[in-house]
Amino acid sequence: MSNLMLHAGANFATREQVAAAPTPAATDTHFPIPHETLIGTIQTHIEASGYTLKTEEYGLWGEYGERMFGVWTLQNGTAHDDYEMALGIRNSHDKSVSAGMALGSHVFVCDNLALSAEIVVMRKHTRYVLRDLDRLVLQATGQLSEARGAQDRRIGSYKGTGLIDAEVHDILIRAVDGKVMANSYISKVLNEWRNPRHPEFEDRNAWSLFNGFTEVFKKTNPLDLTQRTMRLHGLFDEVAAAGGMDPNQLLLLPEVS
């Protein structure tokens, strides 16, 4: 199954098709960069940090591929049975989103992708965007080993936080209040909690509920996934701390600005 969920006019694309997407000319205020330039910059620094690309998938939106979203899974060191490191990439030529990347997790069981705030790089398409992106990506990839440790601590804390139905109901309302999701998602996430489609998530803990959310989010716009799951992780970090996990174990790397 694919790690990348596309809809609303987007289509899967090969790396070659992404590279062939035309880049419009710059204006006085907007300096679009080729999709392949962003991908290549990130790949160079990722591989220099000792990681390899295990898989890579891309999507393009628009008649001329104006918007691009990609998902990589990364391999380095000890592997886990149920999740691995994932990296999301996005770029646009139509001023819709900034260029950037975000690190998160890919869950094997249900092919959920959760891009979180362990490492985030975003840069608007203004003057010197290429120079600044190269510097920001270099700084971010230097933190990959720490980010992997933070990811392991975070997921471990979710697994160690038991939940009862009353707590789940409260979390759903907090998710709406925190703009993680709209009211219309409540019943969908609740159904995933009550009737998990994957037996691996029958345990009554925060990890199971988290994957209920991301199972539903698979059908949402991938370009919005980073911000959505960053807010979701923020909520579940609070849930895990309230459930008795050491808050110091939930401290993550600062966002790269």
What is the DSSP-derived secondary structure letter of residue 183? G
pLDDT at 257 (0 to 100): 36
The pLDDT, as a whole number, for residue 42 is 93
Q: What is the pLDDT of residue 100?
A: 86
Instruction: Compute φ and ψ for 162, nearest 5 degrees.
Output: -75, 150
Per-10-residue mean pLDDT of the chain, 257 residues long, equals 55 93 94 95 92 90 88 80 83 89 68 63 90 89 81 89 96 95 95 92 95 85 72 91 63 40
pTM, full prediction? 0.73
Q: Sheet of 83-92: strands edge to edge? A: 10-13, 52-61, 67-75, 83-92, 99-107, 112-123
Domain ranges of the chain: 10-144, 156-250
Contacts of 128 (CB under 8 A, 6+ apart): none
Q: What pLDDT shows up at residue 140?
A: 85
Which residues are within 8 A (CB) of 130 and not within 5 positions of it... i.e. 6 or more apart?
A: 33, 37, 41
Q: Give the pLDDT of residue 247.
A: 53
Closest CA to 178 of 99, 237, 112: 237
Please name the amino acid found at residue 134.
D
The tokens describing 106, both together, are 């890919």
